[in-house]
Amino acid sequence: MPRKKRLLFALLLSTALFVSLCFGWVNELVAQQPYAGKKLVMVTSADYPPYEFRDTAKGKGEIIGFDVDIAKYIAKELGFELEIRDTDFSGIIPALQSRRADFAMAGMTPTPERRKNVDFSDIYYEAKNTIIAQKGSNLTKSTDLAGKKVGVQLGSLQEKAAKKFKGVNLVPLNRIGEIIQEVKSGRIQAAIIEDTIAKGFVANNPDLEFHTLANTEEAGSAIAFPKGSNLVGDFNRVLKQLQDSGEMKNLINKWFGNNEQPATNAATSGSGNISASIPFIIEGVGTTLLFSALSVFFGFIWGTILSLLKISTFKPLVWLANAYTSIFRGTPLLLQIALVYYATPQLTGFDIPALLAGVITFTLNSGAYISETIRGGILAVDKGQREAALSLGIAYQPMMLDIILPQAIKNILPALVNESITLLKDSALVSTIGVADLLRRAQIVGAEKYIYFEPLLFAGLIYYLLVMSLTWGGYVLERRLQRST
């Protein structure tokens, strides 16, 4: 009994030391980065051409656009380096609140609700809302939308404006591309989108049309900052300089063109054809595999520790392990990712990278599920094996490591492979915090090309090939283990 307890506590201690070493190593790397006073971190949602999007045809996926050009000009004038971080639009304000970024540019309008959470610069560009629908729908004004399903981007100015339309059934979605696809499929009858964005989609989707709405409230794009930021005054000064010098007008002509059609730039050239961007999507396979491999490896280790705690005769450890499993199996994985990524900087002051946040979350989550699988495998091993080992004087630790666990893992290998497959597919959830994995890159290409279905279909094919490869590998390993018995 004492040896068993010592083993359990040794496993817990080694895990704690490992985690502390990892955080110490990451902290050391972060400390070496030229941040304070030298670098400005901008957060955006790079799926909103021509404001910000990735130029995927060149392979590097550099974030470009109207907002990016303005941000580069401001950073240069103020003597800062510029770092751009990509995330979902709904994650921009949380990123500012957690001080993960110095400012945000994403075609964001300074509404009263947003001003309660973040500060804003002066408005640097004014735009209008439009109704985008299938051709021939005759939806030209807000009153025509009564009784219709209307798509809006979650948390956008368009969502707020559409809430005032009488009799409208709003359908909030995360991305503009998703909204357009819903309109094309007929699931929703129309969408409320900014005119500059609508022009690009209509130009590349001939079955769609748009009509401009009269602005009934505040409109225009401004730069967002964390509350109390001392950068607001300097940014306003440079924005005025941009306006007075005529450079802002040049940037508007470059990215938006005239009132009838969008400018000819990387956002619209080659639209509808993803062949040039396929290498960019494929590069996401490496990130997906790295993330999945790390999560499976650490999840298996953590799951093994939890399973040993659950079969312990020391009741507090059993209660702790069961409570942990209940929490992580009883809450959504997407919620866990958001909490780890956004809450960590506020609670600890550590600016956790998105990929690390994803690995930690998936390790903690998959460990809860794997622990139950391993526990079942251990209990399935014939009790006579344990009794024979004890009768021969074999200590608990070598008995568990050399006799019980190998047999348990052999029995539960199909379940472990299935868990790995599930984790590989669920890894797409890290795209919500800006990790440039396979799914995120497909969404980026869709935004750049003003299409939605084709990039996702290609990404789905790659996911299928990866899953089939993992399934085949698990089958081969299972057969080899069977022959070794």
Q: What is the predicted pLDDT for the residue at 389?
A: 76
Residue 47: predicted pLDDT: 80
The answer to whether residues 286 and 250 belong to one domain is no
128-172 pLDDT per residue, tens = 889 999 998 989 888 899 999 999 988 777 888 888 888 899 999
Are residue 93 and residue 226 in the same domain, yes or no? yes
Range of the domain at 239: 33-125+220-269
> Within this chain, do residues 314 and 429 fall inside the same structural domain, yes or no?
yes
Token pair belonging to 71: 């941000």
Is residue 20 predicted with pLDDT exceeding 60? Answer: no
Whole-number pLDDT of residue 7? 45
pLDDT by residue (tens digit) across 229-273? 999 999 999 999 999 999 999 998 888 875 444 444 444 444 457
Within-domain flag for 274: no
Give yes or no: residues 233 and 341 share one domain. Answer: no
pLDDT digits (tens, 9 = 90+) for 379-422: 877 777 777 777 777 877 777 777 877 788 778 888 888 889 99
Does 36 have pLDDT greater than 60?
Answer: no
Domain closes at, from 231, 251, 269: 269
Q: In the prediction, which pLDDT does 345 show? A: 78
pLDDT in tens, 177-223: 888 888 988 899 999 988 878 888 888 888 999 998 876 555 688 99
With helix as H, strand as E and coil as C, how does the chain read? CHHHHHHHHHHHHHHHHHHHHHHHHHHHHHHCCCCCCCEEEEEECCEECCCEEEEHHHCCCEEECHHHHHHHHHHHHHCCEEEEEECCHHHHHHHHHCCCCCEECCCCCCCHHHHCCEEECCCCECCCEEEEEECCCCCCCHHHHCCCEEEEECCCHHHHHHCCCCCCEEEEECCHHHHHHHHHHCCCCEEEEEHHHHHHHHHHCCCEEEEECCCCCCCCECCEEECCCCCHHHHHHHHHHHHHHCHHHHHHHHHHCCCCCCCCCCCCCCCCCCHHHHHHHHCHHHHHHHHHHHHHHHHHHHHHHHHHHHCCCCHHHHHHHHHHHHHHHHCCHHHHHHHHHHHHHHHHCCCCCHHHHHHHHHHHHHHHHHHHHHHHHHHHCCHHHHHHHHHCCCCHHHHHHHHHHHHHHHHHHHHHHHHHHHHHHHHHHHHHHCCCCHHHHHHHHHHHHCCCHHHHHHHHHHHHHHHHHHHHHHHHHHHHHHHCC
Both 254 and 371 in a single domain?
A: no
Indicate the range of 2-6, 13-17, 24-28, 144-148 predicted with least confidence: 24-28
- pLDDT > 80? residue 10: no
Residues 189 and 242 occupy one common structural domain:
no
Beta-strand pair 208-212/129-134 = antiparallel
Domains: count for the chain: 3
pLDDT for 303 beyond 50: yes
Does the residue 133 lie in any domain?
A: yes
> Does residue 452 lie in a domain region?
yes
- On whether both 94 and 165 belong to a single domain, the answer is no
**CA separation for the pair 189, 77 (Å, rounded):** 46
Q: What is the pTM of this model?
A: 0.65
**What mean pLDDT, rounded, does the chain reach?**
82
Residues 80 and 144 in one domain: no
Asked if residue 237 and residue 201 are part of one domain, the reply reads no
Measure the CA angle with vertex 329, ends 323 and 331; round to 5°.
Answer: 100
297 in the same domain as 152: no
Contact 251, 70 (CB under 8 A): yes
Q: Are residues 136 and 24 in the same domain?
A: no
The pLDDT-based confidence of 478 (bands split at 50, 70, 90) is: confident
Q: Are residues 72 and 200 in the same domain?
A: no
Return all residues near 355 (Cβ < 8 A) that are at least 6 apart. 287, 291, 430, 435
96 lies in some domain: yes
**At which of 193, 212, 231 does a domain end?**
212
CATH number of the domain residue 139 falls in: 3.40.190.10
* Per-residue model confidence as pLDDT tens digits over 62-108: 899 999 999 999 999 999 999 999 888 878 998 899 888 999 999 88
Q: Identify whether 152 is part of a domain.
A: yes
pLDDT confidence tier of residue 484, bands split at 50, 70 and 90: low
